[in-house]
Amino acid sequence: MQNANQSIYSVLLAGGSGTRLWPVSRELYPKQLVRFIGNYSLVQNTIKRLESVIGAHNIRIVCAKEHLHETARHMKEIGINPERKIICEPCGRNTAPAVLLALLNIIAIEKDAILCVFPADHVIQNTSLFHKKLKSAIKLAGNGYIVTFGIKPDYPETGYGYIEAGKKVSPDGCIIKRFVEKPDEKTAHKYIKAGNFFWNSGMFVFKADIMLEEYKKLNPSLFEMMSIITSKKNYCTKKNYAKLDDISLDIAIMEKTNKGLVIPSDFGWSDIGSWKSLYDFLPKDKTMNVIDGDVVTENTKNCFIMGRQRLIAANCLENIVIVETPDSVFVSDIANSRDVKNIVSKLKKSNRKEYQQHKTVFYQWGNITLIEQKKGLTVAIHIVYPGSLYKVPNPYGRCKQFIAVNGIAKIEYSGKYHRLIKGKTFMFSEKKTISISNPGDNAAELICVETK
């Protein structure tokens, strides 16, 4: 039975790269950090959705090391101190290692805890119904079950795995009969007609000690290797972590355990796994378009059009996706838009930077946005957060000129300090490293012009 004093933790899995949402989602700035819907990023929305059921102090986010600082900044933006709440993976190895890493982290603090595991990039429309189902799942987990949420399918989706539900063991929970892989359309139609098949949401609730025993019993090699990696100082390296099995929690545990329950749910869930799923989720205008940005349309319907910087003019289009970013434009019919992942693979093979990063790259201290780059000239905007400092190397002795646009910047160069305010400039060309700090309360904005 669930202990009334049992602590409940939310574990958000934020390790995906979201290639089906390129060019907005990229390797160094994946979809969970993007603001697709409203004023918050997907990870912020997920945190806020859970706050009233699971306290913010018990939030844990599992993410890649390269996303640590930006994830922390997103937490701070919504008033949550990220200290000791972010668990970094040296490299991605799928959901089974990620969940186990979080499990060992939490169980070291509190053995008698209940963990609620959610992807950080999903969206839910009916929050009150979700909370009701979550509370039911927590109660069932307290009784020793490993609970997942099965989403009632409203069309024959072939991009999701399905869960077949067996007999009921509570008003909400059913025994998991089996997991099935992504079906073809004919099979998906059969599942919907049967009425006891549900989309696999990838959300789980369980007692820490119960799940730990299942790892030991059902996937001992993964458990043993992770235990070694996490117990030895300086041993959780990319080299060692990459040796772990690249395996999902479904395959490693859920398909084998006899403790699995599914709660059939219909709370307006979407995994936002493609431009089509985002289009399906968002409200449409009178011509069934989803429009975001500076967009003008004529005789256009059933389209998803998103602009980030430039004007987009669309004429006589139907069932089309157009997504514009400062360095790339993606155009596709909506039905096949998920195939953008194949384009990303081609970009990666060609060593194109567009698959990995935007023109704006984020760091612990701030960010740099590339404005212009051609032979002998680079122009970029540097944003330095309040209280932050970063070092600017100049190994080739190029001429670098910094022009202050907003805020206050303090530059240390050859033992001397130079204070830059709006309109002031600083230039150097020696093969030295300078330090730029922000002693002010607002972000410092500098334009850097670099010439050979």
Q: Each residue of 13-32: pLDDT tens digit?
A: 998 777 899 999 999 899 99
C-alpha closest to that of 66 among 362, 370, 351, 369: 362
Q: What angle do CA 131, 134, 137 make, to 5 degrees?
A: 155
Straight-line distance from the first to the last Cα atom of the chain, in angstroms, rounded to the nearest whole number: 70
pTM: 0.88
Using DSSP, state whether 234 is helix, strand or coil: coil
| pLDDT (0 to 100) of residue 1 | 47
pLDDT tens for 233-280 read 888 899 999 999 999 999 999 999 999 999 999 999 998 989 999 999
| 6 band by pLDDT with thresholds 50, 70 and 90 | low
Phi-psi region of 82 (alpha: psi -120 to 50; beta: other; left: phi over 0): alpha
- Determine the average pLDDT of the residues in 304-316: 95
User: For the chain, what is the mean pLDDT?
Assistant: 93
List own/partner pairs for 303-307 with CB under 8 A and 24 or more apart: 303/334, 304/275, 304/276, 304/278, 304/279, 304/334, 306/24
Half-sphere exposure of 129 (CA within 13 A, CB side): 13
Q: Which residues of 374-384 are buried (b: 16+ CB within 10 A; e: fewer)?
A: eeeebebbbbb
Q: What is the pLDDT of residues 199-238, one digit of tens each?
A: 999 999 999 999 999 999 999 999 999 999 998 888 889 9
Domains contained in the chain, CATH given: 7-270 (3.90.550.10), 275-349 (no CATH), 363-451 (2.60.120.10)
pLDDT digits (tens, 9 = 90+) for 170-184: 999 999 999 998 999
Mean pLDDT of 417-426: 95
The 10s digit of each residue's pLDDT in 29-69 is: 999 999 987 889 999 999 999 998 998 899 999 999 999 99
Token duo for residue 241: 């972590």
Q: Is the pLDDT of residue 3 over 60?
A: no
Quick one: average pLDDT of 300-318? Answer: 96
Q: How many residues does the chain have?
A: 452
For residue 310, the SS3 value is coil
The DSSP bridge partners found for residue 437 are 389, 410
Is-contact 291 278, C-beta < 8 A? Answer: no
What confidence tier does 139 reach under pLDDT thresholds 50, 70, 90?
Answer: very high
Computed from CA positions of residues 80, 83, 84, 89, in that sequence, does the dihedral angle turn out positive or negative?
positive
Q: What is the bridge-based pairing of β-strands 377-384 and 366-374?
A: antiparallel
Q: How far apart are CA 182 and CA 38, in angstroms?
A: 31
Q: How large a percentage of the chain has pLDDT more than 90?
A: 86
